[in-house]
Chains A and B, each alone.
Chain A
Amino acid sequence: MRNAGKRVGVFALVLGVIWGLWEGWHWIGTRFNLTWPFPVNNVTMPHLHKIVEALFQPAQVNGPWLIQILWHNSLFTAKECILGFLIGAIVGFLIAVALSQSRVLALGFIPYVVASQTIPLLAIAPMVVVGLGSKGVKDWISVAVLAAYLTFFPVTINTLRGLESADPRAVELMESYAAGRWQILWKLQVPSSIPYLFSAFRIAAPLAVVGAIISEPAASIQGGLGGAIVNFSQYYTIEPQELWATNIITALLGIAFFLAIVLVEKLVVHRAPEHYA
């Protein structure tokens, strides 16, 4: 319990420091008319209390509070993220298992796995949305597929490393039992890769949020955080705090996913303490 108290304390302290730095810079910038590295004013750096306030005010006249709108947007985007993360994790894992079974396969395909990540999501978004849309797939599912396109990569790369991380002595032990390739894979290599898999998931979870948000405008989806960001960007010069507020909610969603992964890892993985990444 003392530990938990400590954590909350440190968290509050860091938050306070960030707050202080932000407002401090705002004060210096406006007081001395700083123009370098950027001009400081209420548009480039709205007051943090304004941003928090904006959450609890209607975004439109007589409309619901901004935080209520963003809550619904978050739920919508979260749905895309969860599906996208799951597709990315499963596909990424299966690709790694397939590639681990043959050196030739790995040598031949890994460059393409890497190359896939050099293509911007925006470039493939229309193909996926239009292509899947013509098959009657809902837009949000297309967005999940696009999010999966980002998340599979760290999973594949880390799982490959994890599968190869099996102790050679343990492989020898399995061979002494006349274990087949699949038994070695399933009983030794896959369990050995689990800690690697979870470090990949920690990277992939926030990536799923990024992927979903970037893809929403491409799929002309209004109901998610991506739509909200595009919307508030257009009014940035008038109401900058609304975009900032949306960004904070987006960050919270990414953090929530990250923490969910950490929690699952704690429940699932039983390893010697030194094995935790």
Chain B
Amino acid sequence: MTDAPEKVVELEGVTKEFAQGKTVALQGIDLTIDSGEFVSLIGPSGCGKSTLLRIIGDLVEPTSGKVTVNGKTAHQARSDRDYGIVFQHAVLYDWRTVTKNIALPLEMLGWPRAKRADRIKEMLELVELTGFESHYPWQLSGGMQQRVSIARALSFSPPLLLMDEPFGALDEMTRERLNMELLSIWRETRSTTIFVTHSIAEAVFLSTRVVVMSPRPGRIAEILEIDLPQPRTAETREDPRFFELVTELRESLHRGGADQVFEKLAPEGDG
């Protein structure tokens, strides 16, 4: 590890407008994320957190502003396969087995078969799905599907992991277990992670920093450092400091205008 942290993501004045400027999804976003960080984006529906994640991943073009990833343009970073992406829905291919689903990005990168097989075995161990190699996605539970999706995203060791509410559709118990699993994977792989969530507890538990966003127009309201000790365990959730931070984050969200959601319904589809 180098002394000075390496900048992985740099956003300068990023703005996104929809419908010829009638809707401002994001305005003047400045954010720098260092190598090895785990940064959560949290905020009410319509604050543009998913859009921001997609802009970083070059799946959406910003209207203005500059996006630099690993010192390159986001487009170049995508061409270099710098991103592993996990969506809220696992988006597994129905016609591929677990093994074949994890192999998908490796096939795109042209990995030879033997190397692919070795890596898939490693990934299955990492997400604790050994024994499910030849299952089809629809034979797995929601939590298992999402673990396959995470294995797929990490299979080619992308330097940057983008996660868009990956555990949003899961029950609380599964979500907490996968939170723990994700943290151990993150410690092992050292992938810089950007994580979009609705859950205050999840953001505090996982992150090194939490970016609080507020809606209309979407902007960064506040950035919270999460100084809970690493590695985090089940006991972390009972740490008084954990509760302090949860309260702090909740208050920050309220200051940032999360309450407005109830006054004016936010447009759907953008979390």
Q: Which of B80, B87, B89, B95 has the most CB of A within 10 A?
A: B95
Main secondary structure on B side of the interface with A: loop
A271 and B59 in contact (CB under 8 A), knowing A177-B81, A179-B108?
no
A270–B79 Cα distance when bound, in Å, is 32
Within 8 A of A (CB), among B120-153: 136-138
Choose, from A78-86, A165-173, A211-219, A252-260, the stretch at the interface.
Answer: A165-173
Residues of A within 8 A of B104 (CB): 177, 187
> Does A267 count as interface, using CB distance less than 8 angstroms?
no
Chain A neighbourhood of B109, CB < 8 A: 177
Partner of B107, one of A187, A191, A273: A187
The proximity string for A residues 171-197 relative to B, scoring 1 for CB distances below 8 Å and 0 otherwise, is: 011111111000100011001001000
Least Cβ–Cβ distance between A49 and chain B, in angstroms: 49
Q: Is B78 an interface residue (CB 8 A)?
A: yes
The distance in angstroms between the C-alpha atoms of A187 and B93, with both chains bound, is 10
With A173-B87, A178-B78: A275-B105 Cβ-Cβ less than 8 Å: no
The reply to whether A272 and B138 contact each other, CB–CB distance below 8 Å, is yes
Choose from B78, B93, B137 the contact partner of A176 (Cβ within 8 Å).
Answer: B78
Q: How many A-B residue pairs have CB under 8 A?
A: 53
A176-B57, A178-B78, A178-B81 as given contacts; A271 in contact with B94, CB under 8 Å: yes
Given contacts A183-B108, A272-B138, contact A175 B94 (CB under 8 A): no
Distance to closest chain A CB from B150 (angstroms) = 13
Candidates A170, A191, A271, A275; contact of B91 at CB < 8 Å: A170
Cα of A176 to Cα of B81 in the assembled complex, Å? 7
Q: With a CB–CB cut-off of 8 A, which chain B residues contact A174?
A: 108
- Classify the interface of chain A: helix, strand, loop or mixed: helix
| A191/B93 in contact, CB under 8 A | yes
CB atoms of A169 and B93 under 8 A apart: no
Give bound CA distance, A173 to B107, whole Å. 14
Report A183 CB to chain B, min CB distance, Å. 6
Closest residue of chain A to B152, judged by CB?
A173
B59 touches A175 (CB 8 A): yes
A176 with B83: CB separation less than 8 A: yes
Q: A179-B108, A272-B138 are in contact. Are A167 and B91 (CB under 8 A)?
A: yes
**A28, chain B: closest CB distance, angstroms:** 53
B52 is an interface residue with CB less than 8 A from chain A = no
User: Residues of A within 8 Å of B, CB-based: how many?
Assistant: 22
Given A187-B104, A194-B95 in contact, is the A176-B59 Cβ separation under 8 Å? Answer: yes
Partner of A191 from B59, B89, B95, B137 at Cβ < 8 Å: B95
Residues of B within 8 A of A191 (CB): 93, 95-96
Cα–Cα, bound, A183→B78 (Å): 15
Interface residues of A in 246-277 (CB under 8 A from B): 269-273, 275
The answer to whether B91 and A169 touch across the interface, beta carbons within 8 angstroms, is yes
Assuming the contacts A176-B78, A178-B81, asked whether A169 and B108 have C-beta atoms less than 8 A apart, the reply is: no
Roughly how many angstroms separate A56 CA and B59 CA in the complex, as a whole number? 69
A275 near B81: Cβ-Cβ < 8 Å: no
Nearest CB on A from B57, distance (A)? 6
- Chain B residues near A177: list those with CB within 8 A: 81, 104-105, 108-109
Confirm or deny: B204 has a beta carbon within 8 angstroms of a beta carbon on chain A.
no
* Interfacial residues, chain B to chain A (CB-CB below 8 A): 57, 59, 78-81, 83, 85, 87, 89, 91, 93-96, 104-105, 107-109, 136-138
For the complex with contacts A175-B78, A270-B95, A272-B94, 5 further pairs of A-B residues with Cβ separation under 8 Å are A176-B83, A177-B105, A178-B78, A271-B138, A272-B137
Supply 9 A–B pairs (Cβ within 8 Å), ascending by A. A167-B91, A169-B91, A170-B93, A173-B85, A174-B108, A177-B108, A178-B81, A191-B93, A269-B95
